[in-house]
Amino acid sequence: MTDIISAPATQRALNDSGRSDPSQPARGDQPGQPGQPGQSGDGRTQPLRQAVVRAAELARDAEERARSRQHAKGKHTARERLDLLFDAGTFEEIGRFAGGNINNGVAGSAVITGFGEIYGRKVGVYAQDFSVKGGTLGTAEGVKICHLMDKALDLKVPVVAIVDSGGARIQEGVAALTQYGRIFRKTCEASGFIPQISLILGPCAGGAVYCPALTDLIIMTKEHSNMFVTGPDVVKAATGESISMDELGGGWVHNAVSGVAHYLAQDEADAIDYARTVLAYLPSSSDAQPPVYAFGSGRTEREAAKRLASIVPDNDRQPYDMLEVIRCIVDYGEFVQVQELFGASAVVGFACIDGRPVGVVANQPNVRAGILDVDSSEKVARFVRLCDAFNLPVITLVDVPGYKPGSDQEHAGIIRRGAKVIYAYANAQVPMITVVLRKAFGGAYIVMGSKAIGADMNFAWPTSQIAVLGATGAVNIIHRKDLQKAREAGRDVDALRKSLAEEYERTTVNANLSLEMGEIDAMIDPEQTREVIEESLRLLATKRRVRRTGKHHGNQPL
């Protein structure tokens, strides 16, 4: 941070323990020493005002108090977190003493705002300071945050929110609640225009939870992170249930159970590093294209491509790890997962192909055969919307047997929540490339980036199966009467079923019909997968958005 507080003259004044009157020049700032900070061109020292020294003392003391309080809890101070977030020496603070009272010994408000650089690109931040009034939000804090967000919108740069707060400042009553309303509205205004990431590094309770809930990604840590609308005490008073803060709204709960959060970090440093990594894949705003990185394809990529054929088993019921497939396709095998612990039958995340950031969506046969359920549907839909908002092409790798059956799914709203996947793909206007690896059955085939729903380029591996139902299920329905007659006649029903299933696979389940209809653009060998995706991305590089109607917006199933 570059200001008078960090200037050499001010620092010497702070270190000058023998100084009795701070309004007098400190040792080393005497006249007749030209070239020293704080001196005029003719060698005369400009007076260092007492108020400036006082402000510097308050800033120093506040950080010392913050360290003693936060370190005792195993947490970093707000400023230490900013040092981890930004490239060294790039943070420029806005309104450092806004909301404070220097004469009365108040250094500032409970939030730090400003701009810095992450991998050389400008990013805005507001970081709540729990060492100041428990990080609570009042009028001064709300004004600072909204001002920061206005600036970020003007500059078209991302915003990172570092949350560590006791919530609304009770002493300010409705004035504090009003500020939350203003922040909600600003966050909604910024949604889809600039990337917004929330780092939950402490408590976040009550109405305050909706600030991060409205952002693109929420990152929590295994310890210290909590989010809940009503805390354990309120829950016990209202329902009689005794529950801890972690069990109610800890990092694990929101990553693995509720799906509210998108990454569970080991600690604060890991959480901040994940935020930096994600921002490296995203553009600064929806008006910009994602950054492009230098990449040279070579022997490593060719060897990885050859491994693809051996990863996916011929038996369509045998599981395998889709992550191995993804790592064989993307640059350097680097894949940044999003919501790894939630809706695990689907995999989503960021990667690069030929140096260009993309979003990857895939079924995970290792988890419930890669089936679509209520959780994985919402996970896929939200990620596709994120990619579409920020101009990232969507690569979809399909191996899906269908939707998960059962009353629990129907009662949980699989119709409504599954429709979100349709809405996301059907409305996306970024380049979309789909590869069917092994099987794609029923409605799940349609929603997972089929050409009918809007994908630009669709490919399939030679052994892929595309149909309304798998062979066995289809035979049980189509040949129900034939199987019944065979049973009554004492014939081998299982042998007949197997024979009919083989015939159905040969004539119907393979991808030939989709190829003949133009729903599949080409049949490719597994080792050609990366190559055809690269070629398709180059072909679609000039694809642009088209406004097809004059409507205000659609009514997405929610």
Residue type, 302: R
Buried (b) or exposed (e) across 517-556, using 16+ Cβ within 10 A?
A: eebbbebbebbbbbbbbbebbeeeeeeeeeeeeeeeeeee
* Whether pLDDT at 17 is above 50: no
Residue type, 101: N
Told to judge if 207 belongs to the known catalytic residues of this protein, a careful annotator would answer yes
Decide: helix, strand or coil at residue 79.
helix
Q: Write the DSSP assignment of 414-446 as a string of letters.
A: HHHHHHHHHHHHHH--S-EEEEEEEEEEHHHHH
* Whether pLDDT at 95 is above 70: yes
Cβ distance 81 to 127 under 8 Å?
yes
pLDDT for res 488: 81
Question: Which parts of 119-155 are beta strand (E)?
Answer: 121-128
Residue type, 108: G
Buried (b) or exposed (e) across 298-320, using 16+ Cβ within 10 A?
A: eeebeebbeebeebbeeebeeeb
CA–CA dist 332, 401 (Å, integer)? 30
CA–CA dist 505, 497 (Å, integer)? 12
Q: What end-to-end distance do the CA atoms of the chain give, in Å? A: 43
**Which domains are assigned to the chain?**
51-281 (3.90.226.10), 299-470+509-540 (3.90.226.10)
CA–CA dist 176, 169 (Å, integer)? 6
* Whether pLDDT at 2 is above 80: no
Cβ distance 351 to 330 under 8 Å?
yes
Which residues are CB-contacts of 356 (< 8 A; sequence separation ≥ 6)?
A: 290, 292, 293, 393, 537
pLDDT, tens digit (0-9, with 9 covering 90-100), for 194-228: 999 999 999 999 889 999 999 999 999 999 999 99
206, 259, 402, 418: which is the annotated catalytic residue?
Answer: 206
* For range 184-203, the mean pLDDT: 97
Cα 391-336-305 angle, rounded to 5 deg? 90
CA–CA dist 294, 300 (Å, integer)? 16
477 or 288: which carries more pLDDT confidence?
A: 288
* Bridge partners of residue 198, in order along the sequence: 161, 218
* Whether pLDDT at 19 is above 60: no
505 or 412: which carries more pLDDT confidence?
A: 412
pLDDT, tens digit (0-9, with 9 covering 90-100), for 110-142: 999 999 999 999 999 999 999 888 899 999 999
pLDDT for res 365: 97
* Whether pLDDT at 87 is above 70: yes
Average pLDDT value over all residues in the chain: 89
pLDDT for res 3: 65
Q: In this structure, what DSSP letter does residue 507 have?
A: I
Told to judge if 444 belongs to the known catalytic residues of this protein, a careful annotator would answer yes
Residue type, 127: A
State both tokens at 473: 């299920």
Query: Among 305, 291, 278, which Cα is nearest to 355's?
Result: 291
pLDDT for res 204: 95
* Whether pLDDT at 501 is above 90: no
* Whether pLDDT at 375 is above 90: yes
152, 444, 467, 511: which is the annotated catalytic residue?
Answer: 444
Of the pLDDT bands very low, low, confident and very high (cuts 50, 70, 90), residue 106 is confident
* Whether pLDDT at 35 is above 80: no
State both tokens at 377: 């549907």
* Whether pLDDT at 366 is above 70: yes
28, 333, 443, 454: which is the annotated catalytic residue?
Answer: 443
DSSP element (H, E) containing 41: none
Q: What Rg value do the Cα atoms of the chain yield, rounded?
A: 29
Of the pLDDT bands very low, low, confident and very high (cuts 50, 70, 90), residue 9 is low
* Whether pLDDT at 25 is above 70: no
State both tokens at 322: 């889709």
28, 134, 207, 442: which is the annotated catalytic residue?
Answer: 207
* Bridge partners of residue 439, in order along the sequence: 465
CA–CA dist 491, 478 (Å, integer)? 18
Task: Quickly count: other Cβ atoms within 10 Å of residue 268's Cβ.
Answer: 24
* Whether pLDDT at 337 is above 70: yes
